[in-house]
Amino acid sequence: HTANEGSFKWSAPSNIALVKYWGKKENQIPANPSISFTLNNCKTITTLDFQKKDNDTQFSFDLFFEGQPKESFRPKIEKFFQRIAAYLPFLSDYHFTIHTENTFPHSSGIASSASGMAALAMNLMSVERLLNPDMTDDYFYKKASFLARLGSGSACRSVKGSIVVWGEHEQTEHSADLFGVPLLDAVHPIFENYQDTILLVDKGEKQVSSTVGHNLMHGHPYATQRFAQAHHNLSKVKEALRNGNTELFINVVESEALTLHAMMMTSMPYFILMKPNTLQIINKIWEFRAATGIPVCFTLDAGANVHVLYPERDSVKILEFIKNELVAYCQNSQYLCDILGKGAVQY
């Protein structure tokens, strides 16, 4: 099959890890398995136009972010193309025009690499499928996740929903280092439509790139223990999800967030990525939970923003609590309401 030109459009959501991926081996292989909630509202929408070109010696693409040419994204995409070229032989046959936009505010401190790389991987797989129409859906999505992983590790968890495992885990069937797989276990109804309200505490540039961060786990004094712990915590999160055990869920998820930050605080060089307001919010959540018994908890990425996780049935009370007590700690009072989602969507 050949195609001279065409266009595809996909969106892919962000995801929030419950058990964190922190540390990797060669070729974007994770040092430990992780599990995440796929989000719904925070996403990247990407259009990929492709046009056959004469020379097939190198990659050629133009990049637009929210309608404007975006040269600063070029090195990341260039590197991504180099990594995936061996798996997508058509890559150097076409000139690509990439138009991309996020539904969340620019420089909100929300990492767009997961949603962005996943959306681009979906589009590239659509070209691949156009040229090889016989591929199965299963192959299509697995390879999309495989490619997304090579762009940004956590991006492989954004292809599908609503709960995804990435990394070989002895107690999770079909789990793999090379791509994310949706959790197939039945999940207790309390975790259906689970809510994630993201409090934007600090919208500044990341202090530590995740590439640098992952590398700090090489030779880290606690690395071996940490990687073993992630395996145990993944089993516990799955048990909590299955049984509707919110107490176990909260214990593991909050411990994972603090452990991620503890790894950064104890690496060399060391970093503190939380801000004073991050701690204020955590303490407020703990007070509220003790006072009301509502199973709300927090998690963190490699930054100061706080993800507040809670069941849909408690939404009204939690949103009231957030508005009355937590918004004061957000930069420009900004927060984003999200919910479990189903993964990438083609337009």
Residues in contact with ligand PMV by CB under 6 A are: 17, 20-22, 34, 113-114, 152-154, 210, 260, 301-302
Give least dist CB 241 to ligand PMV, A: 17
Look at the alpha carbons of 19, 23, 26, 28 in this order and tell me if their dihedral is positive or negative.
positive
Q: Would you give the distance in Å from CA 293 to the centre of its chain?
A: 29
- C-alpha–C-alpha distance, residues 338 and 110, integer Å: 13
- C-alpha–C-alpha distance, residues 312 and 149, integer Å: 30
Give least dist CB 134 to ligand PMV, A: 32
Q: Which is nearer to ligand PMV, 127 or 159 (CB)?
A: 159
Q: Which is nearer to ligand PMV, 32 or 246 (CB)?
A: 32
Q: Which is nearer to ligand PMV, 90 or 172 (CB)?
A: 172
Give least dist CB 26 to ligand PMV, A: 14
Give least dist CB 115 to ligand PMV, A: 11
Give least dist CB 207 to ligand PMV, A: 13
- C-alpha–C-alpha distance, residues 34 and 233, integer Å: 9
Q: Which is nearer to ligand PMV, 201 or 260 (CB)?
A: 260
- C-alpha–C-alpha distance, residues 42 and 104, integer Å: 6
Q: Which is nearer to ligand PMV, 8 or 278 (CB)?
A: 278
Annotate 73-142 with DSSP letters as a single string.
Answer: GHHHHHHHHHHHGGG-GGGGGEEEEEEEEESSPTTSS---HHHHHHHHHHHHHHHHHHHSTT--HHHHHH
- C-alpha–C-alpha distance, residues 293 and 14, integer Å: 29
Instruction: List the one residue out of 15, 311, 62 whose CA is nearest residue 188.
Output: 311
Q: Which is nearer to ligand PMV, 32 or 277 (CB)?
A: 32
Give least dist CB 28 to ligand PMV, A: 8
